[in-house]
Each structure stands twice: as C-alpha cells, then as structure tokens.
Amino acid sequence: MQKIRHTPVAPTRTQRLSSGGEIDAHRHDDHQIVYAGQGTVAVTTDAGSWVAPATRALWIPAGTVHRHQAHGELDLHLVGLPATENPLGFDKPAVLAVSPLLRELIIAYTRAPEDDSPPRLRLRAVMLDRLTISPEQPLHLPTPTGPLLRQLHDILCSDPADNRSLDELGRQIGASARTLSRHLHDELGLTYPRWRTQIRLHHALILLADHTPVTAVAHRCGWSSASTFINVFRRAFGRTPGSLPDV
C-alpha cells in the first residue's frame, strides 16, 4: 500500500522538476494553487487527473490526496492558503484560466515566500482577486471505476489515435456501444466523443511539453490533420498549441 505523506501546511514556494519527475502522493490541511510557469503539470487524485500548461492553474482543496508529475522541464509555483480561506468556493480540484497578469502575480508572489511585508500582502490580495474571476476550465479527465470503462480507458490511453467506433471497441471488450454509452453517461457524465477528445487533449499537452512538433502531435493523438487539431486545441485552451508559453 502506498504511503500518503501528510504535510499540514501547504507550502508557498517555487520548485523545479525535470521532465518525468514526480512529487509523490500527499495531502495538506490547507488549500493549494499549483501553477506551471514552464512545462506542463499533471495532478492526479482518486477522482481522475488534471493537466495544466502555463495558461492554466490548478486548485487543490484541503485534504485532497494528490500527486504531481512533470511533463517537460517544469517550473512549478505553489501557493498555500489556509483551509478557512477559500476565495474560489470549490470543494473539488479545478483548472482555472491564467491571464498574463495573473501569471506574473503568481510568479512574483512565490518568488519570496518568507516575505510578509505590506507590499507582498497587497500583491497577495490582488492575486486572489484575479483568481476569483478566472473562469473554470473543463479539463478534468475523470477516472472510471467500472471494469468495462476501465478497459476502454486503457485502450484509448495506450493509443489515443485509435479511431475505431464505440461499436468496434465494444466488441473487443465484450459490451455493446449502447451499454458503454450508458455507463459513460451514468458514471462520468460524458458522451464517448467528448471523453475521447479529453483523453486526446491530455495526451497532446504531454507531447507538446516534450517539444513534439504540432503535426506529429495531431497524428499521434488521432486527429485527421494538424488544422483540425489546432482548432480543437484553441477551443479548449484559448490559444494554438504552438503559442503555449515555454512549451
């Protein structure tokens, strides 16, 4: 059984991780904001995974067991907040859009974590104000619990470019497309195309963090062309894959 590290106070700091590096499963009594100024960070919990490039930040509520993994050379910025202070009102992990201003506020705030001077406290207040108006992004990839969806999940994650229909995949795992669709709706609240797109986008972020060319990412993740991939990516992240900062 994996040991869960308990760190009562969520640290406010910067941390560098090499590509593939991890912070093992742990939990805090505080809330935490996780932001990758460079590279892409993946946060995994029992409920699923969240992947965020430099245009997104992750909200980790107090008490949530989670682990981090770096994709690309990661410049990680961590902001701890007392459990009594929840400016976002979220009780589950969430991904938030990060504007250029919010990016600079987070980086500046985590640069000197021991500084409690009035200017830094004002910086913190502005940072939290900007966080409260940052829209939540639907980038959660839920982890299925049922055996049928787990099999389907493993097939799609091992090869995101697999373009077989749900009927064809169902024959492989011994279930009809109708049964699988019902399980997806009941367990994850998603349609098959939406779930597959989320899996592909998560995989695409990881490949981009490793500097894989956009056209290669498109084909390896199952899109018919780079332009189709770019359009889907822009709708999900608000910018093109080639314009992600420091990726």
Structure confidence by residue, pLDDT tens digits, 119-166: 999 999 999 999 999 888 767 788 888 899 999 999 999 999 999 999
Helices (H), the chain: 100-111, 118-132, 147-158, 166-173, 177-183, 192-209, 214-220, 226-237
Give the model confidence (pLDDT) of 163-188 as tens digits: 999 999 999 999 999 999 999 999 88
Residue 111 pLDDT more than 60?
Answer: yes
Q: In Å, what is the CA distance from 184 to each residue of 143, 173, 180, 187, 192? A: 11, 15, 6, 5, 7
DSSP 184: I
Residue 3 pLDDT more than 80?
Answer: no
Q: Supply the pLDDT for residue 127.
A: 94
Q: Supply the pLDDT for residue 34.
A: 94
Residue 46 pLDDT more than 90?
Answer: no
d(CA 101, CA 58): 17
Residue 1 pLDDT more than 50?
Answer: no
Per residue, the 3-state secondary structure of 54-85, as one string, reads CCEEEEECCCCCEEEEEEEEEEEEEEEECCCC
d(CA 116, CA 59): 23
d(CA 148, CA 150): 5
Q: Supply the pLDDT for residue 245.
A: 54
Instruction: Give the model's confidence band at 247: pLDDT under 50 very low, under 70 low, under 90 confident, else very high.
Output: very low
Provide the percentage of residues in the chain whose pLDDT is more than 70.
Answer: 96
**Correct CATH for 5-140 of 3.40.50.2300, 2.60.120.810, 3.40.50.300, 1.10.10.410:** 2.60.120.810
Residue 233 CB coordination number (10 Å): 26
Decide if 5-140 and 144-243 have a common fold: no
Identify the burial level of 174 via C-beta atoms within 10 angstroms of its C-beta, where 0-12 means exposed, 13-18 middle and 19 or more buried.
exposed
Give the model confidence (pLDDT) of 213-229 as tens digits: 999 999 999 999 999 99
Residue range 184-208: mean pLDDT, rounded: 90
Q: Supply the pLDDT for residue 138.
A: 66
DSSP 6: E
Residue range 71-97: mean pLDDT, rounded: 89
Q: What is the mean pLDDT of the chain?
A: 88
DSSP 185: I
Query: Which residue has better confidence, 245 or 59?
Result: 59
Answer yes or no: are the C-beta atoms of 59 and 88 closer than 8 Å: yes
Q: Is 41 helix (H, G, I), strand (E, B) or coil?
A: strand
Concatenated DSSP letters of 19-36:
TT-EEEEEEESSEEEEEE
Residue 2 pLDDT more than 90?
Answer: no
Asked if CATH classification 3.40.50.1000 holds for the domain at 144-243, the reply, yes or no, is: no
Map out the domains of the chain as residue ranges.
5-140, 144-243
Residue 192 pLDDT more than 60?
Answer: yes
